[in-house]
Each structure stands twice: as structure tokens, then as C-alpha cells.
Structure 1
Amino acid sequence: MSEKIKLGILGGGGDSLIGVLHRVASSMFDKYEIVGGVFNPVWEENINFAQKLGLSENRIYIDFETFIEEELKLPESERIEVVSVLTPNFLHFPMAKKLIENGFHVICEKPLTTTLEEATILESALKKSNTIFAVTYTYTGYPMVRQMRQMIQLGVIGEVHKVDIQYYQGWINPILLDKELRKTIWRLDPKKAGISSCVGDIGTHAFNMAEYLTGLEVKFVLADLNTRYKDNQLDVDGTILIRFSEYVKGVIRSSQIATGEENGLEVKIYGTKGGFNWKQENPNYLYYLTDDKPMEVLKPGHAYNGEVSLDGTKLPPGHPEGIFDSMGNIYYGVAKAIRNESYDSGEYPTMNDGVRGMKFIEKCVESHKLGNVWLDL
């Protein structure tokens, strides 16, 4: 049996949703062992959380710089191999850059950085290294999303000509209504979140899904964003028209103020011979539409699905799988890459996906500021 990949984690301590999601995901397929890291900038909280996880205190570090310094002192066979960066956006770039330059593989939360310039610097650094870099666009890990992608690649729905992706949440709405409270949220702070809240947080997921599923690149965008209040600097809602080409178009709708919505990512892709409909809140159902026969419903775990979809399905048909499994499939793909095993190009989002996401964010913000005009991506 091969030795497990030694995993370090930066951020994600306490009751962080992202933290538990990544930790559980890494435990699937028995490919990783969490060794240490820096879970919180406050030492007492950092060490207490590590103790709850049952980790050795000598691999829990007071800060990121100490993490790098001390890990590099260890023999390569004992050293942490891959690091998950789960911190607020503004820390992604400095951490990822130093990790790449020191030979660590990286699994980084999205958006990749806070600016496109930072993203391109990371891209250049990665090209000079011999490391694996993944960006956790989590929803690409769902088995039925991967099945949809494969069927589109095989031409099942013909030539794609319409893409409609909606990602609606409502969590920030009650916070936004309180003038003082909205000043306390890091996602609304440009110094920590970057130039966008909604598009940067969830709109970029929808954009990634559009390119991941269709295999096409968005060429132009036109954005209409909403900050809702004058004293709120970052967008909390947006509608973005997208063009893949002159006759292949679509729309991305994202919102953090869709009152009452939970995590409403919905994908609709139409081609010349058929279409697909998939919803993240009910992810085990992929609806296949055509003009000449009743709608079909495809589900995970059945033999009619493709190899990549089946490889990411852990339970027999009828047993629901969800967001933890989706992230687990991304970690599984990264593990294959690290161990030089064969894997499909769609098994984990790459640095290129992260850079594309940053281009999308910056062009959407620019398009809005210029008066809602078309911009070349």
C-alpha cells in the first residue's frame, strides 16, 4: 500500500464551513493524512483546534513563515507535500507564491487571488516549478456534472448555442440591511476580498462551470452589478451577458441578496439536438431534454454513466451524495496527479481555471464601471 500524501492546512479552523469541507474531503479515498499547519492566526485558538483534531503539536506553527521555515528543515520523506490554502482572499497570493517557490503542491480556495496581476505572477511561478496546483471550484466534482460534461463532449446535445447559469444566495441580505454590521464582513471589505464580493465569490463558480462543461472559452462579457448601498463598495448582485462566439451566447446571474435563497446554483445548457438542466441543491438528478422524446433523468452510480462520473461515485445508486463528495473527488484527482497516476483532465480545476476566473472578475467590474459595455476577455 502506498504511503498517504502528507497534507498541511492554512486557515479553516474553528467552525469554518470551508475548513470542515476540506478536511472531510481529504479523508475520502484514503489518499491523504493531515499532518499540521496554521489553522488560526491566534496561537491559543490555533493550538486548541489542532488538539481537537488530534494532531501533533510540533507540526502546528505560529504563522505561515514559520510553517515554511520549519517544514523545509525536515527530510523530504517527512515533509508536508501539499498545502490547502483556506484563508481569506487577500492571503491566497502571498501564501501560494511562497509555497510554489519552495516546492509544495497547492490546493487553493477561489478566487485564486485578489487581482489578475497576482494571478499571472502565480501562473509564471508554477511554470518554473514541478508542482501541482488546484483551485477548488467545488461543483466540478459532482458525478452528474462530470457526466454532463462528458455527454456534451461526445456531442449528445449537438453544438452548444445557449448557456444559462444562475447562482443565487441570500445570506448577506440581512447583514447588508444593517449599516454597522455590513462593515464587519470581510467579503465586503476590498482590502480582504478584492474588487468584488458576489462575482468574486459565486459568480466565478458559474463562469467556471460554463467553461468546464462546454469546453468553450467565454470571449466577451457585459456586466450590470449592484452594490445596493452607496457606502458598500463591493457588488452583492450581478447579471452578466456572455459570448463564446457570434452565435453562441449566454447569461450568468449571481446574487448574495436573493432573499431566502440558500445555495441555488442551477445550470442550463442547450444545444442543437438537446439540453441539460442540473441543480446543486438536488445534485443527483441530471435532466436531459430533447424535442422528440420525453425528458430523461440520469442519476449517479448507474452503468450508463461514463468512467469519470462512476469513478467519483462512492455509493450504490439511490444513496445521496453531496458537497463533501464533490470536494472529495477534486482531492482525489489532485492525489492522482501528485502520485503520477493516470487521470482525466476534468478531475480537478487547474491554475488556468483560476487565472480565467480572475480575468472574468476584473472584466465584469470594469464593464459595469464603464457603463455596462462589452469587453474582450
Structure 2
Amino acid sequence: MKKIKYGMIGGGIGAFIGDAHRRAARLCNDFELVGGVFDVDYERSKEFALQEDIALGRCYESVDLLIEKELQLAEDQRMKVVTIVTPNTLHFPFAKKLLNSGFHVICEKPMTITVEEAVELESLVIEKQLTFALTHTYTGYPMVRQMRDLISEGHIGIVQRVDAQYYQGWVNNIIHSSENRIGKFWKLDSRQTGISGCLGDIGVHAFNLAEYVTGKQVKEVLSDLNTLKEEIELDVDGTVLLRFGDNLKGVIRASQVCAGEENNLSIGVYGSKGSLTWSQENPNFLTLKTLTEPIRIYKPAHTYNGDFAERSHTMKAGHPEGYYEALANIYVGVRKSIKGEEINAGEYPTVHDGVRGMKFIHAVVNSHKTGNSWISINQ
């Protein structure tokens, strides 16, 4: 099968998330990186292209030039999809230009800075009938997909409570540094990040995961955020209460100042007959507890899993499925969509998930600013 040619904006020398995307694309073996705009510094961009054995003629100085030159190529030679891995404020303008020019898009989250921008992209994707994937990578883990299926099949009964947390500790090194690094770090700068720090960066992943596995939408939020220091503009810690409706409630706890924590994302869904829990740092284990049976552990690459989970594992039983493999599953979903293959709901996060995420972030910030009041996500 001929590989899909793709480009990348951002993600050059030293960029973790750009490297993760490239590894994922290689793992799924459906894509070929042929060019891009890898850095705002053109010399560094060219240096990266040489490292990756990418032709310098397709290492562009700007996104506008990338679009112009790629559209001059024969259709079977040009990029079909472009991955955006830049600071947040650049997601919307680049995605809009690419979609208007007929390119499919894979974009890091959050999708945009404002709800209005997100809704505009949603309308554009529908109008152009293009594929838009938002990399909420954790939905690509086999056991997250198994969790989604078990809940939808009623294995834990009526869902009554959702608990999601995402704890990291690395921001301590920024905000407590003797070198006064706060003003130099882009994720704490609203001009580059948007209106939220921690909740917009990792809390939105927990929100997306909660809606993904339960199949239910959050209606209202009540939040309490913390900047820790007066000179810090954006939240670095927060707690959000959730109302889904139908007497279903939950909580999201997100922090980037939990010293010693690395990437502690976990979710528990509690129903009338049982519960399911999963943790990103131990992603091969999905735990089912019920009122009447012994604890059951699900793992990837076993025939007791559903079809969706079984199609999503890349390793044989006993070999851990990790972040790269999960992101590769998102790329597989993008390939299916671009090629018009049969696709299941939940194969990759869409532009609609991006709109949900932006509405969540803005509702969370508004709730905090209005004295910790309940705010509708759809306002």
C-alpha cells in the first residue's frame, strides 16, 4: 500500500512532541514525512531536515510557502496531511490555512485559543469534507478502548461517578527556580498558551478521557484554580467538579506542581454493578471490580477483549503498549479516514472533540473567575 505523504509544522530539533509524532507515524507504517516548516529559525529548520534526510527543497521558510509550493506538485507527490506541533496560539491560523487549501490536518491540543476559533474550524472541516484529527493520544491505548466498550455494553451497570486525575511535578522547576524562569516559559504565557495553563495543557486530556470512555457529555463545571504565586499569570493546579446530567457527577484533579509525579493520568468510572480503573503509567492493566465476583484484570493481546481493543494492540501479550503505540493508533485512524476505509467511532479524536475541549477550558476559567460558580459548558 502506498504511504501517505505528510508534512510537519514545528517539531524540529529538541522537540519531544514532534519526535513522538514521527515515531508514531513510523510505527503505524502508513505515512512518509516529506517536508515541513520545522522551526521559526530557517537555518535550524534546514539543519533538522538534513538530520531526517528530508530534501531541503521541501524544507520551507513559512507555512504560506509550504502551501504554495506543495500545491504546485503533482497530486501523488504532494503532502496530503500536515501535522501541527507548535505553541497553542499558532494551531488555529495554520489549521485554517491548511484546510482552506485542501490539506487534511493532525493537530496537537488544545485545538485553538478561543471557542469561536474552534467552532470556525469545525464548520470548515465539515464544509471541506477533510479529515481533522486532534491528538488526545490517551484514547489510542488498547485498554482505554476496552474500557469504553465494557462501559457501553453495561458491564458496570448505570454509570454513577467519574474520577479523573492528571498529576505532574515538572513545573516546580520553573516557578521555584532562582533564575526567574517564569516569564521565559511559553506554557505560562497567555499570549502563546491561551487563558489556562495546567487545565488547558493536561486537565483537558482528563476531560476528554472522561467523555470518551463513558460516552456521556459534561453539562456543567465548577472549578477552583491556583497560580501559587502572584507573578504567575496562568493556573498550575486545579480541581473541577463535573455534572453530566442524569444524576451522574464527577471530578477532575489536575496539577503540574505535584513534586515527584511524572505523568500520572488515571481514571475511574463507577457504576451500579461495578467499576473500571485505568492508569497511564501502567497502561497494560484495566481493572474491573464488581459487587459479586473477584477482581478481574484485562490486558492487551488477549481474545477476551473486544474487537476494537484487539485491533489496537501492536505487541504480543506481555509486551507493554506505550505512548508511541497509542499515538500510532491515532495515525491509523487518520489513514482510514483519508483513504475512505471503514472506521469505528472513537478511532481518532475529531474536530468536534476539539470544540468540546475549548468549551471545557473556557467554562473552567469562567467558573473560577466568577467565584467558583457552576458554569454551563455550552454557554
Please indicate the TM-score interval, normalised by the length of the shorter structure. over 0.9
State the match for 1:95 in structure 2. 94
Which letter does structure 1 place at the counterpart of 2:312? G
Which letter does structure 2 place at the counterpart of 1:18? I
Taking only aligned residues, the RMSD between alpha carbons, in angstroms, comes to 0.9
Report the TM-score when normalising by structure 1: 0.98
State the match for 1:59 in structure 2. 58
State the match for 2:181 in structure 1. 181
State the match for 2:334 in structure 1. 334
State the match for 2:23 in structure 1. 24
State the match for 1:191 in structure 2. 191
- 2: CA distance, partners of 1:139 / 1:192: 24
Which letter does structure 2 place at the counterpart of 1:55? I
Aligned residue for 1:270, secondary structure, equals strand
Please say if 1:374 is aligned against 2:374: yes
Equivalent positions of 1:343-358 (< 5 A) are 343-358=343-358
Equivalent positions of 1:260-339 (< 5 A) are 260-339=260-339
Report the TM-score when normalising by structure 2: 0.98
Equivalent positions of 1:217-236 (< 5 A) are 217-236=217-236
State the match for 1:250 in structure 2. 250
Identify unmatched segments of 5+ residues in structure 2: none
State the match for 1:206 in structure 2. 206
Identify unmatched segments of 5+ residues in structure 1: none
Which letter does structure 1 place at the counterpart of 2:346? G
Which letter does structure 2 place at the counterpart of 1:236? V
State the match for 2:73 in structure 1. 74
Aligned residue for 1:106, secondary structure, equals strand
- 1: CA distance, partners of 2:247 / 2:355: 25
Greater alpha carbon shift after TM alignment, 89-98 vs 60-69: 60-69
Greater alpha carbon shift after TM alignment, 29-38 vs 365-374: 29-38
- 2: CA distance, partners of 1:80 / 1:246: 46
Retained in 2: the 8 A contact 1:204–1:360? yes
Shift in Å, 1:246? 4.6
State the match for 1:131 in structure 2. 130
- 1: CA distance, partners of 2:78 / 2:33: 12
Taking only the aligned residue pairs, the percentage that are identical comes to 51
For 1:330-376, what per-residue CA distance to the aligned partner results, in whole angstroms no more than 9, with x for missing partners? 00011011001111111100000000000000000000000000011
For 1:309-342, what per-residue CA distance to the aligned partner results, in whole angstroms no more than 9, with x for missing partners? 1111111100111000000000001101100111
- 2: CA distance, partners of 1:11 / 1:371: 38
Shift in Å, 1:130? 2.1
Aligned residue for 1:334, secondary structure, equals helix
State the match for 1:108 in structure 2. 107
Retained in 2: the 8 A contact 1:103–1:130? no
Aligned residue for 1:335, secondary structure, equals helix
Which letter does structure 2 place at the counterpart of 1:91? L
Retained in 2: the 8 A contact 1:240–1:253? yes
Aligned residue for 1:357, secondary structure, equals helix
Aligned residue for 1:297, secondary structure, equals strand
Shift in Å, 1:280? 0.2
Aligned residue for 2:288, secondary structure, equals strand
- 2: CA distance, partners of 1:186 / 1:367: 24
State the match for 2:241 in structure 1. 241
Shift in Å, 1:85? 0.3
Retained in 2: the 8 A contact 1:83–1:106? yes
Aligned residue for 1:48, secondary structure, equals helix
State the match for 2:156 in structure 1. 157
Retained in 2: the 8 A contact 1:274–1:291? yes
- 1: CA distance, partners of 2:245 / 2:227: 30
